């Protein structure tokens, strides 16, 4: 039986059509600005997001880093969620490479920082304080779509205080497909989300299924600063059109199909609803988080991997659907999870606190 890999939507293989597009791409040296395929992708994603310009990046981490450093100087700070990728999962890069300090704030389950907390964290102009320059948000948040009302209020508050705004939109296409109004295309919905922000980073290597690549989108001026930073970070790539072609193919062919990934995530979540010993958190897009009775998470992960189902447990048990998963794979995962809870005694290991665990 084929392994069902639900660890992340980053594990996909390029499709034959994507590989063909890569092989056929006209190339040039992108550090000289000569790669027509990179230039076409950058124009395309800038148009989609409604920004003046865009810059192709090797990774989302580098894209967020160059975005933050393009907005901030040494000794500045950015306001960010305590559990946000741009604070917690990027190795502290903005502080390490840019001397830009994060001001992390508590988030609610929907990923929102309270507006009052944001306002209170914005420092007055005083030599005791770092200069507060930027607000960073993330959408999707743990697979859920951030409500427009919150995006509007938080970014408006930032603007009222002279702050710039950046969206970590690694999965913004998932957000768009899941929240487009009837009759509204996904691209129009991406632009609507992006409109709240001065800049955003999007990933092509997640649900869109490209092997590599992200883009930072923003004003021409911001992108020119980011281009210098990307070079410093070692992200100036040469015949990068190979990779940009995959990303462009993904934008042309893999956006609307995200709805199928979302459908499979719902299928998984629905199938787990009545399983004793675990609790499914909401699954609006392609990520299903599951809370397991205390102490049983590692054993479940081990049992799953022995039976050809891969998932991760870094921040709670997580299953992610993507291009290379089908309904049969999801049904195999469901059967295997049900078997685990049917076969093993539901007694938590000695020492584990009852009833309170996330994982």
Ligand X SMILES: *Cc1c(COP(=O)(O)O)cnc(C)c1O
Q: Which residues bind ligand X (CB under 6 A)?
A: 59-61, 64, 85, 138, 168, 170, 203, 205, 214
Q: Which is nearer to ligand X, 5 or 138 (CB)?
A: 138
Residue 203 Cβ vs ligand X, minimum distance, rounded to whole Å: 5
Residue 63 Cβ vs ligand X, minimum distance, rounded to whole Å: 7
Q: Which is nearer to ligand X, 35 or 168 (CB)?
A: 168
Q: Which is nearer to ligand X, 138 or 337 (CB)?
A: 138
Residue 168 Cβ vs ligand X, minimum distance, rounded to whole Å: 5
**Region at 107 (left for phi over 0; alpha for psi -120 to 50; beta for the rest):** beta
Best CA proximity match to 279, nearest among 179, 202, 356: 356
Residue 358 Cβ vs ligand X, minimum distance, rounded to whole Å: 19
How far is 250 from 256, CA to CA, in rounded Å? 10
Q: Which is nearer to ligand X, 61 or 132 (CB)?
A: 61
Residue with smallest beta-carbon separation from ligand X: 60
Residue 214 Cβ vs ligand X, minimum distance, rounded to whole Å: 6
Residue 201 Cβ vs ligand X, minimum distance, rounded to whole Å: 7
Q: Which is nearer to ligand X, 77 or 168 (CB)?
A: 168
How far is 224 from 53, CA to CA, in rounded Å? 9
Q: Which is nearer to ligand X, 86 or 155 (CB)?
A: 86
Q: Which is nearer to ligand X, 9 or 278 (CB)?
A: 9
Residue 333 Cβ vs ligand X, minimum distance, rounded to whole Å: 21
């Amino acid at each position: 039986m084929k392994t069902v890999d639900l660890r992340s939507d980053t594990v996909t293989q390029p499709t034959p059509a994507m590989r063909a597009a890569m092989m056929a791409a006209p190339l040039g040296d992108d550090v000289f600005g000569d790669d027509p395929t990179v230039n076409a992708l950058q124009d395309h994603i800038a148009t989609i997001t409604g920004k003046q310009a865009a810059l192709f990046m090797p990774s989302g981490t580098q894209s967020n880093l160059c975005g933050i450093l393009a907005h901030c100087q040494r000794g500045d700070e950015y306001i960010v969620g305590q559990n946000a990728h741009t604070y917690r999962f990027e190795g502290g890069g903005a502080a390490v490479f840019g001397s830009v300090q994060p001001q992390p704030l508590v988030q609610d389950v929907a990923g929102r920082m309270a507006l009052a907390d944001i306002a209170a964290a914005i420092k007055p102009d005083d030599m005791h304080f770092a200069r507060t320059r930027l607000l960073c948000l993330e959408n999707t948040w743990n697979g859920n779509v951030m409500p427009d009302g919150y995006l509007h209020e938080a970014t408006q508050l930032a603007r009222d205080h002279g702050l710039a705004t950046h969206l970590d939109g690694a999965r913004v296409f998932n957000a768009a497909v899941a929240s487009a109004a009837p009759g509204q295309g996904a691209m129009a919905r991406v632009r609507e989300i992006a409109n709240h922000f001065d800049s955003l980073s999007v990933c092509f290597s997640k649900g869109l299924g490209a092997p590599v690549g992200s883009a930072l989108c923003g004003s021409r001026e911001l992108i020119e600063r980011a281009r210098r930073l990307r070079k410093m970070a070692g992200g100036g790539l040469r015949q990068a059109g190979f990779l940009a072609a995959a990303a462009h193919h993904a934008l042309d062919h893999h956006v609307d199909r995200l709805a199928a990934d979302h459908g499979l995530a719902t299928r998984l979540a629905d199938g787990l609803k009545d399983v004793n010993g675990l609790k499914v958190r909401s699954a609006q897009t392609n990520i299903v988080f599951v809370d397991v009775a205390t102490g049983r998470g590692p054993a479940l992960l081990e049992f799953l991997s022995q039976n050809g189902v891969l998932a991760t447990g870094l921040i709670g048990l997580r299953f992610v659907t993507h291009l290379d998963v089908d309904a049969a794979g999801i049904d195999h995962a469901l059967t295997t999870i049900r078997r685990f809870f049917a076969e093993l005694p539901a007694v938590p290991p000695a020492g584990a606190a009852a009833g309170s665990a996330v994982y």
